[in-house]
Amino acid sequence: MKKPGLDRVYLFAALHTIITGLSFLFGKTALRFASPIDVLAFRFTASFIALMVPVLLKKISINFKERNLLKIFVLGLLYPIAFFGFQTFGLAYATSSEAGILQSITPIFVMILSAVLLKEKSTLCQKASMLLSVLGVIYIFIMKGSSVDFTEVLGITLLLLSSLSSAGYTVLNRITLRDFSIIEISFMMTLLGFLVFNATALATHFWQGTLNQFFAPLQSFEFIISILYLGILSSLVTSLLNSFVLSKIEAAKMSVFGNLRTVVAIFAGVFFLKEQLYYYHIIGSLMIIAGVIGTNYTMNTSN
C-alpha cells in the first residue's frame, strides 16, 4: 500500500530529476564564457545570495550551536565540493548527453552504499528493474559507437567520480537528516560551496595575473541566465528537494530517478543544441523509464 503523501514526494523527485537533467545543458553554455572553476564560483555565489535573503529576513531559522558539525562538513565535501567540482570539469571534456549518461550509473553506487551503511534491502524484482534501467544507459553508450570519443579518459573519469560523490551524498544525507534540518543542511552546503569555489577561483586568477578578468563573463546575458539556473535551481532548489525526498523515501528509491536525467539530457541536447536523435536514444530511454517505473512500483508494493 502506498504511504500517504507519497505522490507529492514522487513529484518532487521528478522535479529534481528534470532540473538536474537540464543542468548539463546550462553547464555547457556557461563554460563557453568562463573556466570551470569560475563557473562554480559564480554558481554558488548566486546560491548563497538567494539563500541569505530569507535568512536575513528571518523567514527561516538556522542553529548550529552545540551541534556536531563534522557530519555535515563531510556531507558538504561530497556535495557540493566533489560532486559539482568533478561534474563541471568533466563537462569541459564531454557533451551534456554523455554527462547525463554517465551520471546514470549513480544508482549502482547508491544500492551498494545504502546496503552497507543504511542496511536498506532490495528485492530481486527491484534489482532487475534497476538493471533494466542501467542496461538502457549502457545500450545508448554502446550504440553511439565511434561517435563517443573514448580517448577523453579524463572527462569520463571525472564524471564517474562525480557520480560516486553523488551516491555517497545520497546515502550520507539520510544519516545527516537525523541530526540536522533540511534547511540547515542546504545552508551549510551552500556556504561551503561559496567559500571553497570563490577562494579557489580568486587564487587562480591572482596566480595567473588575471584578476581583472574575473567578472568579464557577466557581460553576457546568456552566461547570467545559465548561472542563475545553475545556482538557484540546480544547486539550491535541488538541494532542498533532495533532502526532503530523502527524508521520506529510501536512498535507493530516490537514486533511481537519477536515470531519468539521461533522457532529459539527451532531449535537451536535441531541442536546444540541435543534436541528432537516433533510434537507439529512443529505445534506451524507454528502457530507462521502464526501469524507473518498475523499481518504484515494486518498492511500493513491498512496503
57 in a structural domain: yes
- Supply the range of the domain harboring residue 78: 6-302
Cα angle at 91 between 45 and 277, to 5 degrees? 125
Question: Contact, 237 vs 47, CB < 8 A?
Answer: no
Condensed to tens digits (0 to 9), the pLDDT of residues 147-204 reads 555 445 677 788 889 988 988 888 888 788 888 888 888 888 899 999 999 999 999 9
At 140 the three-state DSSP class reads helix
Q: Is residue 90 part of a domain?
A: yes
Q: How far apart are CA 30 and CA 91, in angstroms?
A: 11
Q: Is residue 169, in this structure, part of any structural domain at all? A: yes
* Mean model confidence pLDDT for the chain: 82
- Secondary structure E strands in 121-181: none
Cα–Cα distance between 117 and 192 in angstroms, integer?
Answer: 25
- The reply to whether 1 falls in a domain is no
Question: Using one digit for the tens of pLDDT, what is the confidence trace for 227-265?
Answer: 999 999 988 888 888 778 877 777 666 766 766 777 787
pTM: 0.77
- Asked if residue 29 is part of any domain, the answer here is yes
Q: Total domain count for the chain?
A: 1
- Mean pLDDT on 9-17: 86
In a domain, 273, yes or no: yes
Q: Which grid cell is 290?
A: 521502464
122 in a structural domain: yes
Assigned domain for 13 exists: yes
Q: What percent of the chain has pLDDT over 70?
A: 85
What Rg do the C-alpha atoms of the chain give, in angstroms? Answer: 19
